[in-house]
Chains A and B, each alone.
Chain A
Amino acid sequence: MKPNDVVLQTITTVAAFIIVLFSIQLFFAGHYNPGGGFIGGLLTSGAIVLLLLAFDIKTVSTIFPFDYKIMTAIGLLLSVGTGAGALLFDVPFLTHAYEYFHLPLLGEQSLHTAVIFDTGVYLVVIGITMTIIQTIGESE
């Protein structure tokens, strides 16, 4: 008999969106409030794990056609790149800079290069978590 997962799959399609939105909120709140790249990435991979539980590896890899090992590499490249970018301006490695900009819709906001470093952390956390879980899940 084919198992019937309608309730789980319907809940998952709604809940995964909310979890991803919450993880993005945690990621951007990291500078002034609790949160940041690590917990944001962990929660995004939690949403992908929820999709993996409700569906299967094949379906999820069609929804997210990423190679998570390459995602980890891109994240490391972003973090090291922000650090190395400071050397171009004759300041020590990993020196960050920020400036206030007037953005459309958002108004006066400060843009900080630490966000790019945090994006690297975010991508590395998602990449490593999903690589571990998918590698364990695929082996029989």
Chain B
Amino acid sequence: MINSIVIVALGIISISMLLLIYRVVKGPSVPDRVVALDALGINLVGVVALISIVFNSFAFLEVILLIGILAFIGTIAFAKFLEKGVIIERDRDA
């Protein structure tokens, strides 16, 4: 029972990831692609969580938090590059 539910959920997430990949490839502007990549990372979190249910294992729970943190940092770096042109400033006030 739980296994078939998990398989169905994995299929739905796969469809959503395919649609996001379409947006990454097609997206007319760069922010579209950045937002799509961020959502792709969050979908990956869901996939890892469902896979760890399928494998009946606690070993992937760190990966979930790790993908969340990396997606957050990556999106902020991209957003800052788009807004200011530099990712790491030397001195904000100068």
Measuring CB to CB, which residues of chain A are less than 8 angstroms from any residue of chain B?
Answer: 3, 8, 15, 19, 22, 26, 29, 33-35, 39, 43, 46, 49-50, 52-59, 133-134, 136-138
Contact = CB atoms under 8 A, between A and B. Distances in A.
Contacts, number: 53
A34 B63 CA distance: 9
Nearest to A19: B69
Given A26-B62, A34-B62, A35-B62, A56 B72 contact: no
Majority SS at the chain B contact face: helix
B73 A56 contact: no
**Chain B interface residue number, banded:** 10 to 19
6 contacts: A26-B62, A33-B59, A46-B70, A53-B73, A53-B88, A137-B87
B92 A56 contact: yes
